[in-house]
Structure 1
Amino acid sequence: MLLSALLTSVGINLGLCLIYFTLYSILRKQPSNADVYAPRLVAEGKLEQRNNFNLERLLPSTSWVNQSWHPSEEHLLARAGLDGVVFMRIIIFSLRVVAFAAVVGLCVLLPLNYMGSQIVIDFSDFTNISLESFSISNVNDGSKKLWVHFGAVYAFTAFVSYLLFIEYRYISLKRLAYYYSSEPEPDQFTVLVRGILKSSTESLSESVEKFFSEYYPSLYLSHYMVHHTTNIQKLISDAEKLSRKIALLKSTRDTSQRFGRVGCFGFFGPKVDLVEYYEKKLEDLEDNIKTQQSLLSGKEVAAAFVSFKTRLGAAIALNIQQGENPTEWLTERAPEPRDIYWPFFSASFISRWIGNVVVVVACAFLTILFFIPVIIVQSLTHLEQLETWFPFLKGVLNIAFVSQVITGYLPSLILKMFLQLVPPVMIMLSSIQGYVAHSQIVKSACNKMLWFTIWNIFFANALSGSVLYRLNIFLEPKEIPNILALAVPGQATFFITYVVTNGWTNTSSELFRLMPLISSYMSKLFFVETDEQFEVPELPYASEIPRLLLFGVLGITYFFLSPLILPFLLVYYCLAYIIWRHQLLNVYSPKFETGGTFWPIVHNSTIFALILMHMIAVGIFGLKKLPLASSLTIPLPIITLLFNNYCRKRFLPVFKGYPAECMIKKDRSDLNNPARATEFHEKLITAYKDPALKPVQFSGRTNGHNAPLLGSEA
């Protein structure tokens, strides 16, 4: 790619970013847009509405930057939870890594690359210089300057490893401190029990009570059985939709809209009062829900939430095999009540197993299918190949600006558009794997999305061309460093434009929130506003964490190959730091809390990136006829893996569960306030009650039809 094509891409995306910032700074001041740009503050009643018109509302400003910059980490912890803090620590960690790499890369490595003579450079036409002249490819074979690159690889590995250790320790201590400062929560005292042993003389509920009363007489508190409630959940969903429809009809000033036909598609049948018709239908739905709830007695799933009097009691039950048969009385950590994903409690073992097989096949198919946009993208980066395929475009492609847009901007834009479709698919696939918590689904989708992007964005683009047709080479591990060394440096320019398009512009568009803005305007244009509360969105961890980590992989990998990518990554992480702090404080509300367990994903991804860099370094020094440097690089991945093993043993156990020391201290602190402990135990008995079994009341009836139907088992 030529420098002019890169400048064209940067100019287009920089212009889009400025447009987004300008429009956001104006639109956010309009009172009618409060539910778009500050939905969390609106829901919490913390937003001051100023309806008086003034000129300042029509002028762009940067006051939101200061508001996002100043809040401390403690304030962010109170607002976004530990998961929100860890998300920001990912950005801070990446920013530090890229900043160090930029100093070394731009001040030391880039000048050495540019002063090489391996690639012929025409200094008279600077804008048409190939960007490869700024990469290690321009350093002469066998040059002693390559030893500077060798030393930079060692120094960078040491620095990144040091940062990883510091961050892992910091976040693990934060996790323990967060646990100590937390109030008693139901999930701390509860385990989920599956594979309950059935008895011909006892119900499942009686079997659970008998088992835990016998073997945990001083620790067992209560249990709550899981029921088949899929049909009831659907009825409740229908009732909620009908209730909203009634509220909408009642709020309209046009009384003619209250009358309509209720036959097929609303075109047949007599005209009726829709409010009365829907209210009667809603009452019938409530009666149906009540009937279905009453019929659930005995329709229990072989799963139960078992609660204990202490945290230590729950930990003992969680970590010890309960029955002689290891397939029975299986225990796992109970999620928070708000975090439970109820549909898959009713799924059998075989259906969960089939679901996992389907997910594996679907992920493989999606990965293969994604090669189509990758091939399109790579054809656009090579105009000579595009001219061969489509000769009639030759005249258009010879226009300088058109060729610059096609090679510099269009490929990364196409890849970005296709990639937007992947996160919802990954969440959907994770939801059918049998997870019982929304956080588990999000973490699973996050892992799937991360490795999907690393393979389909990094490897598929880097190894495009003839290498893809020589996959048999990968059967010989010794050839992998040479393959990577040949393929990866040549795609540096494409990834620079990808960072600009999918990094700068995408992050700026997150601030602008175009789709929620359009949705808000459409709803206000075609529907009457009601007093009903709107739902505050949750942060899209499954798409944003993989994006941050993919750019981290690019920064680490291209640190010594093509340092020109580093300033663009630095700008991206600076934008991400300000914008995501703002969004966490004003837009998104946490729907669950994992206690910072996303960080091990970050650690593993960074270790992978370091080893990938080492493999490429081994190959590149060999190709550059510096075999000694290639041989001396081989110990680096071994040292990195040993470091990773140490970190896993030192810090990872804290992210899998809390130590007994912490739980005992918390249990002892509860003993100092027995009244509060007794009150909490009373609430714990019904904390895990299925929402589908709770009394519902959407209509205005007050005749006792909505009394609780299914008592809690204890």
Structure 2
Amino acid sequence: MLVYALLTSVGINFALCVIFFTLYSILRKQPGNNDVYAPRMVNDQEYRERSHFKLERLLPNPGWVGKVWQDSEDDLLQSSGLDAVVFMRIIVFSLRVFCVAGIIGLFVLLPVNCSGNQLEIIDFANFTNDSLDVFSISNVNNGSNSLWIHFAAVYVVTIFICCLLYHEYGYISAKRVAYFHMSKPQPQQFTILVRGIPVSKRSSVGSSVESFFGEYHPSTYLSYVVVCRTNRIRNLMDEMQNLYKRIIDIRTERTRPKARNGCFCGLLGLLGHKNDHLDHYEKKLENLEDHLRLEQSQNSQKTEVRAAFVSFKSRYGAATALYLQQSTNPTEWITEQAPEPDDVNWPFFSSTFMGRWISKLVVIFACIIFTILFLLPVVLVQGLSNLSQLEAWFPFLEGILSSRTVAEVVTGYLPSLILLLFLKIVPPIMWLFSSVQGYISNSQILRSACEKVVWFTIWNVFFANVLSGSAFSNLYIFLDPKTIPLKLGVLVPQQASFFVAYVVTSGWTSASLELFRMFPFIWSLVTKPCNRRSLDENFQVPDFPYHKDIPRLLLFGLLGITYFFLAPLILPFLLIYFCMAYIVYRNQFINVYAPKFETGGRFWPIVHNAMIFSLVLMHAIAVGIFTVKKLPMAASLVFPLPILTLIFNAYCRKRFLPNFNGYSAESLIKKDREDLKQETGNEMEEFYEKLRTAYEDPAFMPIQYSTVGPHESSSSYDPLLTHEIQG
């Protein structure tokens, strides 16, 4: 890629960022957009509607940036949870790494690269026609002593990153323990999930649980809730909910003022409900209620799963039962930590053991197929970034591509944009794969999807682009491990220009789009004129898509670490992105996203492992590049680095990872004693009563839909049905 193609990509993306930031600063001040740009404030009823028009609303104002800096990390912890703190620590960690790497790369390595003439001498008089490769290590003469500067930079940055990783792992581990001590008694702290419950012919699952834990944990055992299969009940509940909404639509349409009857409703006005169907729908709803009550009474007796949530009187008692093998037969009475009650993935329990096992195999096979199919857009992207290859594929485009402006857009901007658009479908697909894999909680699904997206992105964005940049015949290098460093040393520097453009397109534009929230804004514009229900009924605060955004941060971290000594020109673009991300995501956590469930900071081990992988990959590339550059002594001296890095990783796993898998006896007993001192006896008894029913399946909760007459509502826009949940 030539310099002018990169400048074109930078110019386009910079203009888009300015537009999106400007639009956000204006639209956020409009009263009608508060549910898009400040849903947390709307949900907490902290947003005051401004009725008087002011010219200030139509002028962009960067004042919101100052508000982002006011909240401390403790404020973020209280409002958005430990996962949000971990996410922001990833950005802070990346900023620290690339500030140091940027100083070394831009002020030390870049001048060394430019002073070489292995490829060509830089023509400053015709700067834009120079290739970006002349700014990379490829331009340093083979065998030059200047390469020892790159060697020293690899050592310095590796040591710095490892020290920073150790500090962050320790900091977040301590934060996790402190967050646990700050929390009030939570049901998941006192509860475990037990599987493989042996049941005799004359007993039930419940009686087996009661007798077993009553005998072997008599002093701490409290209660149990047996898990049942509820597929049919959930289908009925979904059907009732849809019917309930449909009746609301019809009744609201009847009472809508005639002046507004001309409004198109539904999907572009094509989907609507006729008032003549109201009686039929109400009768059908009553029948479904009767059917649901019948299913609930029968289901609890016939479709028990050999699993139960077992609660204890103390956290230490629950932990003792969790980590001790309960039976001489290790396939029975299998225990695992219970998630939060609202975090339980109830449909999962409808699967049998064989069904879960088969689903895991299917997911593995589906991930492999999806990864292979995704190579097609990667090949397309690489073809667009290479004009000669594109003209060979499509000869009829030769005349169009002869235009310099078209060539700049096609090679500098279009490849990264196409790859970015294809990557948009990856997180929801990986979430779908993880959801059928057999996890008991939504937080486990989220972490599993995040891991899948991380490694999918690393393979299909980094390795697939590196290998397809030359030819897919290079795939054979993975069959011979001895040739991997040498081949990577040849292939990786060739794709430096593509990844610089990718950081600009995927990073800058994605951050500004996250702030602008283009799709929620457009959806709000389309649906508001036709919205027939009150805001309170429809409104939901979105939760943060960690499985989408964490992989992007880790991919940029990998690109920065591997390319800092190969092509340091990538570092300023990464720094700009992480600065934007810090401002944008803090704003979104404060105003937009609210947590629905917590993983307790368990994303950090994924981050740590990805950074260790990036370091080892950088070392492998360094061995290859120093071999290619005829400096075998430097290549040999790099060999200890990956070994020492893996030893460091093993130490961190022993030192910090156990704190992310559970809490120590010291922490549990201390927290139990604190509760006994701070809480009165009545308060703990009330908590135990709530704990007995905390893990009851929502499918067994009584649901009653009662109709209200068309003239009984105080407002024609209020819902005319009330939804009561008794229990």
* Kept after mapping to 1: 8 A contact 2:500/2:570: yes
* Kept after mapping to 2: 8 A contact 1:197/1:329: yes
**Deviation per CA, 1:346-376, whole angstroms, max 9, x where unpaired?**
2001100110011011100011001100000
* Kept after mapping to 2: 8 A contact 1:282/1:699: no
**Deviation per CA, 1:18-38, whole angstroms, max 9, x where unpaired?**
111111111111111111111
Count of residue pairs the alignment pairs up: 699
Match of 2:78 in 1: 78
Secondary structure, counterpart of 2:643 in structure 1: helix
Decide which of 654, 666, 669 is 1:664's aligned counterpart: 669
* Kept after mapping to 2: 8 A contact 1:507/1:575: yes
Secondary structure, counterpart of 1:699 in structure 2: strand
Secondary structure, counterpart of 2:675 in structure 1: helix
Q: Does 1:368 align with 2:368?
A: no
Q: Does 1:289 align with 2:292?
A: yes
TM-score (norm. length: structure 2): 0.94
Runs of 4 or more off by more than 6 Å in structure 1?
255-258, 705-709
Q: Does 1:380 align with 2:384?
A: yes
Q: CA deviation at 1:289?
A: 1.5
Secondary structure, counterpart of 2:184 in structure 1: coil
Residues 4-83 of structure 1: matches in 2 within 5 Å? 4-83=4-83
Kindly provide the amino acid, as one letter, of the partner of residue 666 in structure 1.
K
Match of 2:318 in 1: 314
Match of 1:448 in 2: 452
Kindly provide the amino acid, as one letter, of the partner of residue 163 in structure 1.
L
Residues 304-703 of structure 1: matches in 2 within 5 Å? 304-530=308-534, 531-672=536-677, 673=679, 674-700=681-707
**Deviation per CA, 1:313-367, whole angstroms, max 9, x where unpaired?**
1101111111121111111110000111100112001100110011011100011
Q: Please give the alpha-carbon distance, in whole angstroms, between the structure 2 residues aligned to 1:87 and 1:277.
A: 51
Deviates more, 1:427-436 or 1:465-474: 465-474
**Deviation per CA, 1:194-230, whole angstroms, max 9, x where unpaired?**
1110211111111111111111111100000111111
**Deviation per CA, 1:505-529, whole angstroms, max 9, x where unpaired?**
0111011111111111111123324
**Deviation per CA, 1:113-164, whole angstroms, max 9, x where unpaired?**
0111111133331111100011000101111111111110000000000100
**Deviation per CA, 1:568-613, whole angstroms, max 9, x where unpaired?**
0000000110000011111111011111010000000000000000
Q: Please give the alpha-carbon distance, in whole angstroms, between the structure 2 residues aligned to 1:470 and 1:165.
A: 36
Q: Does 1:112 align with 2:112?
A: yes
Question: What percent identity do the matched residue pairs reach?
Answer: 59
Match of 2:250 in 1: 249
Q: Please give the alpha-carbon distance, in whole angstroms, between the structure 1 residues aligned to 2:257 and 2:243.
A: 19
**Deviation per CA, 1:42-62, whole angstroms, max 9, x where unpaired?**
111111211211111111111
* Kept after mapping to 2: 8 A contact 1:113/1:136: yes
For structure 1, the residue ranges without an aligned partner over 5 or more in a row are 259-266, 710-714
Q: Please give the alpha-carbon distance, in whole angstroms, between the structure 1 residues aligned to 2:173 and 2:573.
A: 31
Change (3 A) 1:302 1:424: same
Q: CA deviation at 1:708?
A: 6.2
**Deviation per CA, 1:405-432, whole angstroms, max 9, x where unpaired?**
0000000000001000111000000000
Deviates more, 1:203-212 or 1:460-469: 460-469
Kindly provide the amino acid, as one letter, of the partner of residue 677 in structure 1.
M
Deviates more, 1:9-18 or 1:385-394: 385-394
Q: CA deviation at 1:706?
A: 8.1
Q: CA deviation at 1:474?
A: 2.5
Secondary structure, counterpart of 2:608 in structure 1: helix
Root-mean-square deviation over aligned CA pairs: 2.0
Change (3 A) 1:277 1:406: same
* Kept after mapping to 2: 8 A contact 1:243/1:699: no
* Kept after mapping to 2: 8 A contact 1:283/1:699: no
Match of 2:266 in 1: none
Q: CA deviation at 1:272?
A: 5.5
Kindly provide the amino acid, as one letter, of the partner of residue 480 in structure 2.
E
Secondary structure, counterpart of 1:685 in structure 2: helix
For structure 2, the residue ranges without an aligned partner over 5 or more in a row are 262-269, 710-722
Deviates more, 1:229-238 or 1:7-16: 229-238
Q: Please give the alpha-carbon distance, in whole angstroms, between the structure 2 residues aligned to 1:153 and 1:32.
A: 52
Secondary structure, counterpart of 1:140 in structure 2: coil
Q: Please give the alpha-carbon distance, in whole angstroms, between the structure 2 residues aligned to 1:656 and 1:474.
A: 33
Q: Does 1:147 align with 2:148?
A: yes
Match of 1:712 in 2: none
Match of 1:172 in 2: 173
Match of 1:89 in 2: 89
Q: Does 1:279 align with 2:282?
A: yes
Q: CA deviation at 1:701?
A: 8.4
TM-score (norm. length: structure 1): 0.95
Q: Please give the alpha-carbon distance, in whole angstroms, between the structure 1 residues aligned to 2:475 and 2:682.
A: 68
* Kept after mapping to 2: 8 A contact 1:240/1:698: no
* Kept after mapping to 2: 8 A contact 1:171/1:596: yes
